[in-house]
Structure 1
């Protein structure tokens, strides 16, 4: 894992916090006033860590509490052995951090990539703690009719998932992702798409590659995509009451239209299945990582969403 003191030349100035409640050393950022009306929980995906949100944390923390966990096996969190690194485990870890360790309420979930399924899983367990969902280049699996068909079509066309399936079939997936310290930036640029390659400075590369110092530290980055092509335990049916509660929350999708991993022509209708009246904002200048390609625009949209949540709460 990345050393706790690492700031990457001041681009990551946030104080580290650690929790052991989930059975491993989990890093998280906790900025802003503890008595704020909302706690924003910013969840990253594959193959990133909290550094992805670096441009948004400080401005959001002026008025809100901002919690940014690193998933098990990423960033400044440990990569414990003997874990399966399946999505359900990451949901368990998030639950333990947010409920048992921090006991946060009135949560706005800010979700990217695998952060979408993980955050959705948390919301389904604790809808009473969730006040809204802001999604960007991710999916929210809420069991809507037709959702699986869209995800399957994305899997067949996406450059990222076509590579995952081919690499798993020919036995190179673990080799490539097991060397993520050398391959991570290529994966982000070429297979998922960053529209502004000029952001990829030596410091940036070091920030995203530093966790993956050897094969043992790459278990998380391997298992996120691998579980989609290797059969795992079947998911339990979703609770209809919990789904209805989550669908009743305010939601917004900000979609980088140049995404070659989660293709907008499938992700946008998948979101609208669950939230037909929620705003969907297209970001033509962004790829899979709007936090890198259009951080100012993403921040403005999130602040607009938060203002709407505040106004809606005041009206109720």
Structure 2
């Protein structure tokens, strides 16, 4: 098991984050953002390679592991972790950086690229849907709508009581473990996940990312009013962007790649053999794609 130098960093956004720090600060900076329900360890097999010639930061985002868990759904709207990201870069005196995000970390990376183009120099997305494409697919693609019904379950205010009844370990086996390659995870990592999920307030904080999101997930038999922004212009992502996509992802389907080139003019797409948790299910492919692209 690879261990990392974790630094506890207090940010002016009001949270303290544990941040894996690797590499020489004089080298080009790369910031890695994990998704649900993980931590900096999402990148455990990616960080060592990048750290050879980059300064690497991989925070445990707010609500996860032992980072701060502010109470209230309103503290997990996407603008909050975007602000954490910029504050983290400021803390290390980093102006422009390459931003890499997976899952929810990718959602934050898309938003940061759109809202902070002066700070995000290049963008790498790993199995995280573009906000426009994702919302459109939830209205127009029945398969993606069906695959995303878990989001409604995660927003259910009673889910924490259910987890308390069955225990964190059982919840791990009945949810996460079914969507990941357990053989590549290993017993040590399983223990780390359960420890992180068991931290006081962690489960609610992680689920609050879903509750705070404005994404609409219609029920399968519903015909809600279509969001107006889906039928108007959407701002382009101006940064050079690499999208790495694990084709075995059963939560985020390949429809997420359709029409992406119109929204991201400088786009490279690399498809790899992996499920949703690409950064550790196929870390060599992620590293190779990033290196081939010029990271």
Instruction: Bin the TM-score by the shorter chain.
Output: 0.7 to 0.9
Confirm whether residue 218 of structure 1 aligns to residue 209 of structure 2: no
CA deviations 1:138-192 (Å, max 9, x no partner) are: 0233x5xx6631244365121xx223325656x64333566545423542232xx
TM-score (norm 2): 0.82
CA distance in 1 between counterparts of 2:125 and 2:154 reads: 29
1-structure distance, mates of 2:37, 2:2: 17
Instruction: Name 1:313's counterpart in structure 2.
Output: none
Aligned partner of residue 197 in structure 2, secondary structure: coil
> Alignment partner of 1:115: what SS?
helix
- CA deviation after TM superposition for structure 1 residue 229, in Å: 8.0
Q: Tell me, in whole angstroms, the C-alpha distance in 2 between the residues paired with 1:180 and 1:212.
A: 7
1:286 and 2:271 correspond: no
Q: Which one of the candidate residues 152, 161, 173 is aligned to 2:159?
A: 173
Q: For residue 100 of structure 2, give the secondary structure of its aligned residue in structure 1.
A: strand
- State the shift of 1:210 in Å: 1.1
SS in 1 for 2:121: strand
2:149 is matched with 162
The Cα RMSD (Å) is: 2.9
Measured in 2, the distance between the counterparts of 1:66 and 1:280 equals 23
Q: Distance in 2 between matches of 1:297 and 1:215?
A: 35
Of 164, 175, 196, the residue aligned with 1:187 is 175
- In structure 2, relative to structure 1, the CA distance for the partners of 1:166 and 1:303 (3 Å cut) is same
Say if 2:15 and 2:68, in contact at 8 Å, map to a contact too.
yes
Shift of 1:129: 1.9
What residue in structure 1 maps to residue 245 of structure 2? 255
2:51 to 61, 66, 83: 61
Q: Is the 8 A contact 1:181 1:211 kept in 2?
A: no
Are 2:275 and 1:275 aligned?
A: no
- Which of the residues 15, 30, 38 maps onto 1:24? 15
2:85 corresponds to 1:94: yes
- Look up the match of 1:33: 24
The change in CA–CA distance for 1:102 and 1:184 in structure 2 (over 3 A counts) is: farther
CA contact (8 A) 1:41 1:110 kept: yes
Corresponding pairs, count: 275
Of the three residues 4, 26, 31, the one matched with 1:14 is 4
CA gap of 1:229–1:188, structure 2 versus 1, over 3 A, is: farther
Q: Secondary structure at the match of 1:17?
A: strand
Show structure 1 runs of 5+ residues with no match.
Answer: 1-10, 308-316
TM-score, scaled to structure 1: 0.77
C-alpha separation between the residues in 2 aligned to 1:25 and 1:117?
A: 21
Q: Equivalents in 2 of 1:180, 1:92: separation in Å? A: 30
Candidates 118, 135, 140, aligned match of 1:128: 118
TM-superposed deviation, 1:122: 2.2
Q: Give the CA deviation at 1:212.
A: 2.0
